[in-house]
Amino acid sequence: MNFKQVHKIRGMLSFFECMFLNGLTRKTALSFGDESVLCEIGSFCGKSTVCIASALTELNKGVLYAIDWHQGSPSLPGFNTDKYKSTYDEYLENLRRFGVGQRVTTIKKMSKDAADSIPSKIHFLWIDGDHEYETVKKDFEDYQGKLVGGGFLLFHDACWTGWEDPFRVISEQVLDNPAYNFYGLMWNTMVFKKEANHTCGTIKYALRYLCPAVSGENRSLFKRMCSAILLRITSLWTWIACRP
């Protein structure tokens, strides 16, 4: 897979997140086999979709359910997506261009209306839709019950970022949840594995303190610098300790 080409698709994933998503998809598909079911909430123009589906295509295993209403989002600054009539055609063209469409089931709905369209058992859940607190919370509550043991739960824009609400949901719903164990951080993505929670108290405390301390839309330059440093340190640790 040519990650440099995939990274050119419009979207907010970093180059390293693209690689990580692809690798974690491989790990999921190899663990759960031909019946692997993956779900992403928030496709935009298909950057994450291609990263995930390309691994499934190369392994010839599994299917990705890609949920997005393709009418933009006011929570994506810098792209004016609240003004877009549709990102759907661009999304479909990217699936076609990278030859991954056969592994993707596209669900053109808002995530709150799409849960019944997803199989009852999934092995990978990527939450990257609207980033407002109530929406992230509902996405987690509506879909996490479908995630099987050993599956992966991922939140985008959860750490070292201008958004604060995704981590607020994580802090309230996931960090102390006995069914989710902290797995790692890759750039702005936070990952958990559905298994007995044995995350040490120090990691929980550090996340609860550091993520809000250096995140937020109106961060000072000092906080932005701290965020950039933490982003690189934690990503390197995850790549070494939890490389897919």
Token pair 């469409």 in the structure block, residue:
101
Within 8 A by CB and 6+ apart from 180, the residues are 153, 174, 192, 193, 194, 195, 197
Q: What is the pLDDT of residue 183?
A: 97
Q: Could you give the residue ranges of the DSSP H alpha helices within 144-220? A: 165-173, 201-214
Give the confidence band of 224 by pLDDT, cuts at 50, 70, 90.
very high
Q: What is the pLDDT of residue 116?
A: 96
Per-domain residue ranges for the chain? 3-241
Token pair 């299917």 in the structure block, residue:
63
Q: Residue 73 above 80 pLDDT?
A: no
pTM of the model: 0.94
Residue 92: HSE in the Cβ half-sphere, 13 Å Cα cutoff: 8
Asked if 194 and 152 touch (Cβ cutoff 8 Å), the reply is yes
Superfamily of domain 3-241: Vaccinia Virus protein VP39 (3.40.50.150)
In this structure, which amino acid lies at residue 45? Answer: C
pLDDT tens sequence across 100-134:
999 999 999 999 999 999 999 999 999 999 999 99
Of 88, 94, 92, give the one whose Cα is nearest residue 13: 94
In this structure, which amino acid lies at residue 126? Answer: W
SS3 readout for 108-134: CCCHHHCHHHCCCCEEEEEECCCCCHH
Give the residues across from 82 on adjacent strands: none
Average pLDDT, the chain: 93
Percent of the chain with pLDDT over 90: 87
Residue 57 region by backbone torsions, left for phi larger than 0, else alpha for psi between -120 and 50, else beta: alpha
CA distances 74 to 10, 30, 203, Å, are: 16, 37, 32
> What is the secondary structure of 21-61 as a DSSP string?
HHHHHHHHHHHHGGG-EEEEE--TTTHHHHHHHHHHHHHT-
